[in-house]
Structure 1
Amino acid sequence: MRMTAVIDPAGTLELDLGGEKTTAGYPSVMEARRSVMNTATDLAAETSTATELHIEDPSGSRTILVQTDGAVIEQDIASDPTESGPAQPAVAIEPAASPVTPEEPTVPAVAVEAAAPVAAPTPGSVEAPVVPETTASAATASRVVEPIVEPLPTRRTAMPSFVDRPDADSPAQVGVRGVLNQFGLKLSASPAELEQRRDEKTVSQHWAGPRTITVLNPKGGAGKTPTVICLSAVFARLGGSGVLAWDNNNSLGSLGWRTFDAGHEATVVDLLEQTDYFMTAGARAGDLASYVHHQPSDQYDVLRSDDRSGAKKRHEVTGDEVHRLYSVAAKYYRLILMDSGNTERGDNWEAMIGHSDQVVIPVKSVDDAAEGASRVLSALRAGDEHAQSLADRAVVIVLGCTPSHGLAKLNELAESFRPFVKSVVTVPYDPSLIEGRIRFSSMLPQTRRAWLRAAAQIAEGL
């Protein structure tokens, strides 16, 4: 990549990058020179190619080569090292003619009729000679070649579209390329940005009918609640509203603690009393706001489990009640994410599995959480055909739970699950996931990217 920078004594910079020219003003020549060097260094690192920079300023002119590691080499370059000689014309080689094998002549079949028995001649009669008749079939088999009929052009195929453009055609919007494009350039997006765009498109799709994602692990503290929250945020932020995070935990679930309340304390117990009403034609979607807790920044709703403690006995949701709650949820939400809780032998667990379209198994980077994930996979494979299908298409998410558990530790754990499930995604350690309420925007950029990658893998199985 070649850059040319001209700086006048007033600090005005004229930058020519591959034929694209921009002008910017700086307080001094030094500031303009520093900006040019930073741009050249970032461009070399971004493109993995050394940047040839020619600078003309009040102190003179010089040509330097900025390496990908930031090293600067001053040199005189007489010619463009990237230029190559004229391309040699390609020599077209005609394919050898295929030998023609002559067909053997078809011998006509001859049918010989059996001679009828001849009666004995009577005296005085003249016997006419009997000549056997011979019939020959002169017709031979002929080959019929079907004509190739080209389909008639339609409006879609006959005329090109002037508005449909693939995402790959959009200029870069992030990274160094995105910054340079703000100066009027049109640099293409990097492979990493194109991959992120594909994941966002996959996650933002809507399906015909509701879909249910169940987050499973019978081990408490395995990361189910953060997984439900983060996936709900990704799907709602990119695909729009209509996403419900449902805590199906009969043993004091924490989904309500780690999300924001909507000014009331309603739980599944309160909604169970109104399921008949919400299934009527006169029920309104807005009435659900009194029973679920909307998350304003992340745009999904939370259905809390019964979190009463002390003298008040908690209500344990039955399998039949799960069916009733699911009927309401499927009527008003396009995507449902369920936290399984820790009681894998309960009726509510079995009913939840029956409604699941995809299962996600979170695994914190500790051995006991991995053991719980392994056991739940084995239980699914020992179940009916539906449960076995869920196990085959499962997505495992390995969560870093301490700063000391780096990428090597996460990958080691991921590889142990990879042969048995659809895919495995690793999420690095992030302090915002460890305690307190979880807000997607508070996470580190690499954490948000990992959750997007996980959501895309899940969406492909819905």
Structure 2
Amino acid sequence: MHEFTVEIVSDNAARVTGTGDELVATAGKTIQDSIYEYSQQRAADAGAPVEVAVHRAGRRTQVTVSPDGTASRSAPTGPIPTTADQGEDPSNPDAVAAEPVSITLDPLGHIGRTGHTGHTGHPAPDGAGQESAPYPAPAARCQKVSVLAAPGIVPGATEPARTGMRGRLNAVLGLGLSPKPSSAEMRLRAAAATITGPIPDFSTITVANIKGGVGNTPIAVGLAQTLATHRGGATVVCADLAESGGSLADRVCVPPAEGQNIFGLLAAAQADPGHLRRSVLGRHLTRQPSGEDIIAGHKDLTAAQHAGLGGDDAAALATILARHREILVADTGNNPLAGSWQWAVSQADALVVPVPLRRDAATAAHRMLLDLAAAHPGRPDRTVVIITDGPGDTPMVESDAVDAFIALGVQVLRMPYEPLFAGGERILPSHLRHTTTDSLTVIAATIVDLITKPE
């Protein structure tokens, strides 16, 4: 087996022993990337696996790389280097190891009232117009950066790959290979960065399709979970805005208690019309494991005061939530004449339309979007259609449906089949397929792009 040794001399350079070849980390790559690519080329030239001994700061890693790029940790086939081989001089047994390098840091100046470092004056007392006498000179041992501070992130640096072939190599061999720029991992990282970015003070995401049973509620629940996972707890509320109460309470991880519904919250707000306290709001919302809150609709149609959720009720709910949350995910019913449905669609900063691959669902969604485009000309620019897989789908519908939606000027994304969505069970994030979680991340990033899109 062909063998050679690589010595890493810095974070960006390495030297191949015996050949004089110099390896350099190019833009977007680590030195480990360069060593791996060089080793693969050596294996391809030799037509056989090569054994690479990588040395760095006294540590040795043995890797076998095949011509097809497969790499695995291996024991060396040759003799294991002795201590003398690793740098000690056998002719001088009294030689000692080199002392560690010491770094002296400049002293840190005191911080004045303005908060800038380098000033040596006391903060001025209240009402004073100038600084008082300076502090004594700081001790020489005062360091500019605390030794306890966590290392900062170098701008432009890329975290090692965690998935795919490179992720497996990093996990098994302790390497630091970066993901390929075009890889799915990099696309998901970019999507996550978009989701966590700044958005307007309060935004409404409406999930709507006037055809019943197309997956409005599972999509609304999944989006709320995804947004809260990336943006943090107490930022997102998912509300059931169906006229007579939908299935939101039956699909979330933690069901709401009795009285935790929109009408209960509106009644509490009327009792305290000035400003609803956060503690009162919390008693009417139900926190979920991902950090999002949900608020259910009301299904008691026997009471006259609960005849149905109207547009004024939905607007009042949004006014309350806007004081304490960032995003409202509105799960709508299938009655386009209901006031709550019309409010949710007209006020949506982003409209999400789930469409299974069935002609009836696609036709209903297309007709709905045509009507909305006529009533709200800018609506297609803030709409995304989600093509979903499910039982009873007819794939031949997809091409016609996608072409029809694109012709309206809306974005179209595709989501794979998710058994938990189709089965009617409660939706626990940890039970979702990885493909579903990844798809929801991309969809959520697309929605945030729509929210932040200029008018």
Residue equivalent to 2:331: 339
Task: Please tell me whether residue 423 in structure 1 is matched to residue 415 in structure 2.
Answer: no
Shift in Å at residue 364 of structure 1? 1.3
Q: Structure 1 residues 411, 322: closer, same or farther in 2, change over 3 A?
A: same
Task: Please tell me whether residue 398 in structure 1 is matched to residue 387 in structure 2.
Answer: yes
Q: Structure 1 residues 404, 262: closer, same or farther in 2, change over 3 A?
A: closer
Q: Partners of 1:49 and 1:230 in 2: how far apart? A: 48
SS at match of 1:327: helix
Task: Please tell me whether residue 458 in structure 1 is matched to residue 454 in structure 2.
Answer: no
Q: Which residue among 255, 261, 283 is the counterpart of 2:255?
A: 261
- In structure 2, give the amino acid aligned to 1:186: G
Q: Structure 1 residues 317, 4: closer, same or farther in 2, change over 3 A?
A: farther
Residue pair 2:354, 2:388 contacting (<8 A) in 1 also: yes
* 1:375-390 equivalence runs, <5 A: 375-383=367-375, 387-390=376-379
Residue equivalent to 1:196: 188
Shift in Å at residue 50 of structure 1? 8.2
Aligned length, in residue pairs: 323
- In structure 1, give the amino acid aligned to 2:243: N
Q: Which residue among 292, 296, 299 is the counterpart of 2:285?
A: 292
Shift in Å at residue 165 of structure 1? 3.9
Q: Structure 1 residues 279, 362: closer, same or farther in 2, change over 3 A?
A: farther
Q: Structure 1 residues 355, 64: closer, same or farther in 2, change over 3 A?
A: closer
- Structure 2: gaps of 5 or more residues: 6-12, 17-35, 53-63, 72-150
Shift in Å at residue 302 of structure 1? 0.8
Residue equivalent to 1:208: 200
Q: Partners of 2:281 and 2:353 in 1: how far apart? A: 29
Tell me the TM-score normalized by structure 2.
0.63
Aligned residues with identical type, % of pairs: 26
* 1:220-369 equivalence runs, <5 A: 220-241=212-233, 242-259=235-252, 260-277=254-271, 280-281=274-275, 283-296=276-289, 298-308=290-300, 314-369=306-361
1:3-28, CA deviations, whole angstroms, 9 ceiling, x for partnerless residues?
A: 9699xxxxxxxxxxx9799xxxxxxx
Shift in Å at residue 269 of structure 1? 1.7
1:275-321, CA deviations, whole angstroms, 9 ceiling, x for partnerless residues?
A: 2356534x33232222121112x211111111236x56753012222
Task: Please tell me whether residue 54 in structure 1 is matched to residue 47 in structure 2.
Answer: no
Q: Partners of 1:239 and 1:20 in 2: how far apart? A: 44
Single out whichever of 203-212 and 181-190 deviates more from structure 2: 181-190
Q: Partners of 2:43 and 2:272 in 1: how far apart? A: 64
Residue equivalent to 1:186: 176
Task: Please tell me whether residue 432 in structure 1 is matched to residue 420 in structure 2.
Answer: yes
SS at match of 2:239: strand
1:374-405, CA deviations, whole angstroms, 9 ceiling, x for partnerless residues?
A: 0110111111xxx2212232100011112876
Shift in Å at residue 410 of structure 1? 5.0
Q: Partners of 2:353 and 2:347 in 1: how far apart? A: 16
Shift in Å at residue 265 of structure 1? 4.3
Larger Rg over CA atoms: 1
Q: Structure 1 residues 221, 49: closer, same or farther in 2, change over 3 A?
A: farther
Q: Partners of 1:246 and 1:185 in 2: how far apart? A: 46
Q: Partners of 1:48 and 1:238 in 2: how far apart? A: 40
Shift in Å at residue 360 of structure 1? 0.9
Shift in Å at residue 249 of structure 1? 0.2
Q: Structure 1 residues 403, 171: closer, same or farther in 2, change over 3 A?
A: farther
Q: Partners of 2:163 and 2:312 in 1: how far apart? A: 49
1:117-176, CA deviations, whole angstroms, 9 ceiling, x for partnerless residues?
A: xxxxxxxxxxxxxxxxxxxxxxxxxxxxxxxxxxxxxxxxxxxxx956456622212223
Residue pair 2:256, 2:296 contacting (<8 A) in 1 also: no
Shift in Å at residue 179 of structure 1? 2.9
Tell me the TM-score normalized by structure 1.
0.62
Question: What's the Cα RMSD here?
Answer: 3.5
Q: Partners of 1:226 and 1:176 in 2: how far apart? A: 32
Q: Partners of 2:417 and 2:42 in 1: how far apart? A: 32
Task: Please tell me whether residue 414 in structure 1 is matched to residue 406 in structure 2.
Answer: no
- In structure 2, give the amino acid aligned to 1:431: P
1:339-396, CA deviations, whole angstroms, 9 ceiling, x for partnerless residues?
A: 121111122222223422111111112111111110110111111xxx2212232100
Residue equivalent to 1:156: none
1:65-114, CA deviations, whole angstroms, 9 ceiling, x for partnerless residues?
A: 554799xxxxxxxxxxxxxxxxxxxxxxxxxxxxxxxxxxxxxxxxxxxx
Q: Partners of 1:437 and 1:417 in 2: how far apart? A: 31
Residue pair 2:43, 2:65 contacting (<8 A) in 1 also: no
- In structure 2, give the amino acid aligned to 1:261: P
Q: Partners of 2:340 and 2:176 in 1: how far apart? A: 55
Q: Partners of 2:229 and 2:3 in 1: how far apart? A: 42
SS at match of 1:169: coil
Q: Partners of 2:68 and 2:392 in 1: how far apart? A: 33
Q: Structure 1 residues 49, 285: closer, same or farther in 2, change over 3 A?
A: farther
Q: Partners of 1:20 and 1:340 in 2: how far apart? A: 63
